[in-house]
């Protein structure tokens, strides 16, 4: 089953369209495929390791890795019991900051 994560559900009206959260070991759902709609997710692997699935690819990730997840990309994690993440989710077109176009960056 696919879970559609919405940035709007974490923000109050008028807030900066940016959400930062920490996922501690044991909190990341196993095999839960999801996307982030129009949002970009920057994932900082702060500890542990896991397998990151981004249909149809997968890769082992570990502390020190950084992932850039493009809008509407379906992804999830396996073997994530030890994984600690810092997630930064944002909509580039709604930020009034000069940002590099993330759509041209490789995944």
pLDDT greater at residue 4 or residue 62: 62
Cα four-point dihedral sign 84, 26, 82, 52: negative
Q: Give residue-wise pLDDT tens across range 24-37.
A: 999 988 888 888 88
95, pLDDT greater than 50: yes
User: What per-residue confidence (pLDDT) applies to 29?
Assistant: 86
Cβ(37)–Cβ(70) under 8 Å? no
Q: Which residues of 56-93 are buried (b: 16+ CB within 10 A; e: fewer)?
A: eeeeebeeebebebbbeebbbbeebeebbbebebbbbe
92, pLDDT greater than 50: yes
User: What per-residue confidence (pLDDT) applies to 107?
Assistant: 47
User: What per-residue confidence (pLDDT) applies to 46?
Assistant: 97
User: What per-residue confidence (pLDDT) applies to 39?
Assistant: 87
């Amino acid at each position: 089953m696919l879970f559609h994560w919405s940035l709007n559900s974490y923000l109050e009206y008028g807030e900066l369209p940016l959400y930062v959260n920490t996922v501690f070991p044991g909190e990341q759902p196993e095999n839960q495929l999801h996307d982030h709609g129009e949002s970009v997710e920057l994932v900082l692997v702060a500890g542990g390791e896991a397998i990151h699935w981004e249909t149809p690819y997968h890769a082992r990730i570990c502390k020190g890795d950084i992932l850039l997840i493009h809008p509407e990309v379906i992804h999830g994690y396996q073997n994530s019991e030890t994984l600690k993440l810092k997630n930064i989710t944002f909509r580039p077109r709604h930020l009034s900051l000069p940002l590099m176009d993330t759509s041209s960056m490789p995944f």
